[in-house]
Structure 1
């Protein structure tokens, strides 16, 4: 029997580090398109830290991103224009937003309560989703409105699991639009604190 020369092997690496270096799969994982909206603007804690013009620019950028990401639609723009041209009382947009947030939160809790029952009354769930759709239209909350339409598909098929999934999605979109509305209103308050235009 002839002895073969021993092959010298490189030291073993942990599996994770070989993967990180790409030796397991030479192709990088596919990159997904960026679907998350840009981060909300950072608000200064002191309203006088920025000039009114800089705050207005930040507000305009924030509202533009709300349109670009599909968070709001043209009805929201209409509300803003009615307030800006003086054909409504000042504070109309903030009032409508606050009504929307309160009503929508109450409706979402009602839907959750119905879906947590052993036997779901899909007709009542449908009524509440329809109310929420109306609330979202009144403020131009486009993504919330779209989630309500998506929700109706599961109500029609009487799928409790589908409704719970749609409710989770709806809550996420509601929280997102609330955060964006609150950022917008904080910027408006800081602009008002800087004095007249």
Structure 2
């Protein structure tokens, strides 16, 4: 019975990932990330995604702060933060966030403050959607591990 429950939860996880692929939210890198998780590192995906969330939220706060004063906007720093966010998003397979960062980078390269503000709003929206869906994924994964008897770290409270 325990195996059947874990199998159903695994199927739920795969369906969620398939939807996120279809929506263009995730790409193949997320599958590769999942493949790195094994019995010796059962929390690997959780740990990587948690670090991604923590760092991304810092970068989003920094981007918002850099855009508060139109006259003093440092587009060079914006570009640096966007490069960091694009790189970390690529490493976990966050395709939609990476793509929005690229468009945001174009606005920043042209010192287009209005374009940057709009891009930041889209980025925050895409990031929030990704975060909610990955939290859903991680919760299902935790349930699967409990049913299978694997030790895990509880999700951080939001």
The verdict on a shared fold, with TM-score over 0.5 as the criterion, is yes
Instruction: Rate the CA distance shift 1:51–1:89 in 2: closer, same or farther, 3 A.
Output: closer
Q: Counterpart of 2:76?
A: 123
Q: Output one character per residue of 1:38-69: Cα deviation in whole Å (capped at 9) or x when no partner.
A: xxxxxxxxxx9x93232222111111111111
**Whole-angstrom CA distance in 1 between matches of 2:6 and 2:43:** 18
- Displacement of 1:139 after TM fit? 0.8
**Whole-angstrom CA distance in 2 between matches of 1:56 and 1:74:** 18
Q: Counterpart of 2:122?
A: 169
**Whole-angstrom CA distance in 2 between matches of 1:59 and 1:140:** 16
Is 1:83 the counterpart of 2:59? The answer is no
Q: Counterpart of 1:188?
A: 141
Q: Counterpart of 1:155?
A: 108
Is 1:67 the counterpart of 2:21? The answer is yes
Higher relative contact order (CA 8 A, sep 6+): 2
Provide structure 2 residue ranges, at least 5 long, that are not aligned to the other structure: 151-158
Q: TM-score, normalised by structure 1?
A: 0.70
Q: Counterpart of 2:9?
A: 55
Cα RMSD for the two superposed structures: 1.8
Pairing partner for 1:142 from 95, 98, 102: 95
Q: TM-score, normalised by structure 2?
A: 0.86
Provide structure 1 residue ranges, at least 5 long, that are not aligned to the other structure: 1-47
**Moved runs in structure 1, 4+ residues, more than 2 A?**
50-54
Q: Counterpart of 1:179?
A: 132
**Whole-angstrom CA distance in 2 between matches of 1:196 and 1:108:** 37
- Displacement of 1:196 after TM fit? 4.2
- Displacement of 1:119 after TM fit? 1.4
Per residue, is there more helix in 1 or in 2? Answer: 2
**Whole-angstrom CA distance in 2 between matches of 1:152 and 1:163:** 8
Partner of 2:82, secondary structure, is: helix
